[in-house]
Amino acid sequence: MKTNTSESTSRSTAIYELDGRPPITQAFPLGLQQLLAMFVGNIVPMLLVSGTAGLSTAESTLLLQCSLLGAGVATLIQAFPIKFGKVQIGSGLPVMMGLTYTFLPICISVSVNYGLAALFGAQLIGGLVSIIIGFALPKVRRFFPPIVTGTIIVSIGVSCFPTAAYNLAGGQGSPDTGLAYNWIIGGIVIAAIMLCSGFGKGLVNAAAILIGMVAGYLVSVVWGIVDFTPVAEAAWFSLPKPMAFGLEFHMDFAVVFILLFFINAVEMTGDFTVSATGGLNRQPKNSELQGGIIGNSVACIFSSFFNCFATGTYSQCSGIVALTKVCSRFVMGCAAVTLVVAAFCPKLSALLSTIPNCVIGGATIVVFSMIALSGMSLVSRSRFTSRSMLLCGTSLALGLGISFAKDTLAGAGEYVQMFFGESSIILVAGTALILNILLPKDGVDKVVEETHRS
């Protein structure tokens, strides 16, 4: 009896151990909670790009199918790393991976103006270079203190506001843009998210965005604006088609992706730290940080061939680890396997592609605002000294200002317009990096940067 009791206790506490292997009846629901927290965030970038790029229903379904596959594979690499001598691919930490919004503005711009082949080609080059970033991150991270990283993240969120607003109104260029029912349904989505976030507890709070989108979707069905024909026509099972859109290589896009991969690496380091300190009561090891960045690079290279955008860690999932102390990699593996299995069901992807623009817009209004505010939170760590305000304000004003008024670059040539006008990120990041190097630092600035590095 004592042995059985000991084994039972061991299995029940396995969820709180990194290498714990709890029973599937315990691991699957906990993995599902992690999946619900990241699921909407993982599919929204694909929905936005397919909508703005004018892709067919079949192409949109394939992209959504691949987004599930890419997220699942990336999470499995992190949960169960592979070692080659001293090189580790994957962090081995309890994190969930999925499509990252860091790349969203440039993904929308490139896919609309140059096609998905150019996007995946640039992503492939960026992923290869990102392997080097994994090894070099500890040495060059000092150039990305909170004031620089925060400013860049603010620009990512703010630059997506027009996209969210257009979708809320029914979609840019859509014949029903601005019609009343779009605003009503989008408003219902926002209201539902606010209610769940403000008054919900536990899973209701964690899945607020998902619940809001489901509410808006049900209203859309009743309103009669959802067409289920693509779902009826889709197969129950199908293998994701590799390189369905091809690969084209443009070094100008690749340069932007390389910079964004570094920014993504800095953000991921923060999430690795949250999972390790919150769930394991220790700082992440250098091998875990480097392995995590290298692992994501490998996942992004895989995604480039399998029609999926670049991936990154999900802060909300790391937050769940810190809150619940459930840090079993097996739990994360259950969520990842669920994503991979779902990727082979086109009917599910087709169902996701029927979500109306106004529902997506309602959700992304909240999501993009939170991205911008998370950047502001990083900026606030610099204690709003005159230097930090000058650096942040100038970078945002210049980068966002030109991207919102890109006709000001009309006389500068097509290359300059594409590089600086289509997305604010490259100009904001470049300005912030240069100003951070040139502007003199006082005692407060040095303390903040030292604290960040430690």
- pLDDT tens string 410-437: 766 666 666 666 667 778 888 888 898 8
pLDDT at 297: 94
Give the domain ranges of the chain.
Answer: 25-453
Q: Are 134 and 297 in contact (CB under 8 A)?
A: yes
Secondary structure (DSSP) of 220-266: HHHHT----HHHHHS-S--PPPTTSS-----HHHHHHHHHHHHHHHH
pLDDT at 206: 59
Q: What six digits make up the tokens of 207?
A: 């899945």
Name residue, tokens 């969930």: 96
pLDDT at 1: 46
Express as a percent the part of the chain with pLDDT over 90: 13
Q: Are 425 and 152 in contact (CB under 8 A)?
A: yes
Q: The pTM is what?
A: 0.71
Low-confidence ranges of the chain (pLDDT < 70): 1-13, 33, 36-37, 141, 172-173, 202-203, 206-207, 316, 319-320, 323-324, 371, 411-423, 442-454
d(CA 167, CA 221): 17
pLDDT at 69: 92
Residue ranges of E strands in 26-67: none
Q: What pLDDT digit, counting tens, does each position of 324-335 carry?
A: 678 889 989 998
- Exposure string over 212-230, b if 16+ CB within 10 A, otherwise e: bbbbbbebbeeeebbeeeb
d(CA 201, CA 275): 21
